[in-house]
A and B are shown apart, each in its own frame.
Chain A
Amino acid sequence: MITSLGRWFNRKVVAFFYAMGYFFQVLKETIKFIMSRHVGLKVLRMQILFTGVEALGITAILAVSLGAVIIIQGVSLLPQFGQGQLIYTILITVITRELGPLLTAFIIIARSGTAIATELGTMTYSHEVEAYISVGINPIAYLVVPRVLGVTISLLLLNIYFNLFGLIASYFVTQFFTTVQFLEYFRNLLQTLTTSDIFSSLIKSVVFGVIISTIATFYGLHLEQSSTEIPIVVIKAVAHSVVVLLLADVFITLIYYM
């Protein structure tokens, strides 16, 4: 019992340091990628197109719906308690600080995290990754870094886009149900919004982007032998991304309130 527990613990420690080693390797190659012109630029463009541009529709729908629900609920309920002004704090807290980065991250896990893990898993299985090594192209520099950068940049931009739709476009939707004036709404919103709200939101989306893409690429390249492992690595990538993402969210939120 103790022996098997020790073995399990040993495996976990080795796996942790292996993953850390992978992360630092990705970090090193990312810095090199940014500093020099690279053959992976096309992969980066494609990744931004797939992760960012193609997710604009669903992000807008989600942001407008969420913003509209908050405004409708807030405008209906809060004045009953004499707290009508709280609607702006709630909007900023929920959309800008919390759900903006988190929901866009979930969209990206569902769309791009799974796609990256599947694509790299298939490439590993069909020896395409080995083919890159054989011609001298570092797969981390050519396959991983453009995906990490693409996902991170896309998540950052999607978060800004989510905020615009969640805070502004949702206002117009609610005009069918409420009578709040636009200028008043917009002025109060800007008065409530602080620089730390913006920074917290942007930092979260960058951290989430790095987490999702690094975990997805790690599991994609981690495939051993069989094509039947592909769905398994995808599930692992999604599950680990969600867990690490939520932990990171709690950590950043704690720092915000410290």
Chain B
Amino acid sequence: MEPFIELQHIIKLKGTRPIIKRVSSIFNGGETTAIMGFSGCGKSLFLKIAAGIVPPDRGTVRFHGENIYDMDPGNIRLFRKGNGFAFQDAALWANKSVFQNLALPLQFHFPELSAAEMNGRIGKILDQSGYRDSPNLRPDQLSMGERKIVSFARAMVTDPDILFLDDPFSSIDHHTIDRILNLLKRKKEEGVSIIAVSHSAELVSKLADRIIIMHDGRIIEQGQVNTILNTTNPLSSEILAKVFTKPEAFDSAILDILGDDDFRL
């Protein structure tokens, strides 16, 4: 797999205090990476830096070798067109309806789409994501779970090659999680790269190729799922245990990954 996003020696400061501490990582095309760690360890910020949303104070983020934060407007537009970001708190535009939240990225990147094509595309992705309410509602009329679904649909609506998902399954019911997981599985099979901050055992077991474990603004471990799940690092084990001791984690998929003998978390 070809490396497509490369973060080198990333430092992010809050005032004078570093909150991301000289972090480096490489994301390969078509791969699914799960970023895990305790709350406040810098996972979401790391994801936003990788997605080119928050610039680092030091270090570089390269997309196919080109620094994201130095790209010319044409290339940055192409980069954005090819990726979608679902926010942890949904971050839907409050003054727009659900439909308009999904229509704006389409209008911006695909101005040639007719109204009928746009309606069709938005209706399809909302249905696939499991959104059942009216597309004319405003975000403040939705539950947190519904907002997260719409945020996910907004990330997917432009049919991106890279998906950045920040804790995509929190506040969402299991039925909808299954639906989204199946959709992500299909996208993965089509070659879409997924980088997700998640503590979902299902996402790790069914989709992830790599795991990054963060603690206190640093990456303490990163590698293929099987390698990381057999870690001897006590901190990594503690973080993984929090995920895999949940009852829903004991499904066939995770046991397949670990093997009965290896399941020692």
* Chain A residues proximal to chain B, CB less than 8 Å: 39, 122-123, 126-128, 130-137
Contact = CB atoms under 8 A, between A and B. Distances in A.
A127 B87 CA distance: 8
A136 B93 contact: no
Contacts of B158: 135
B53 A135 contact: no
B91 A135 contact: no
Interface string B123-160: 00000000000000000000000000000001100100
A134 B86 CA distance: 9
Nearest to A134: B85
B92 interface: yes
A131 B83 CA distance: 12
A123 B93 CA distance: 8
B80 A128 contact: no
What is the predominant secondary structure among interface residues of chain A facing chain B?
helix
B53 A133 contact: yes
Contacts of A134: 51, 53, 80, 83-85, 87, 155, 164
Nearest to B44: A127
A131 B96 CA distance: 13
B250 interface: no
Contacts of A39: 104, 107-108
A39 B108 CA distance: 8
Contacts of A128: 91-94
Contact of B105 (A122, A126, A127, A135): A135
A136 B109 contact: yes
A131 B108 contact: no
Contacts of B80: 134-136
Contacts of B104: 39, 135, 137
B81 interface: yes
A128 B96 CA distance: 11
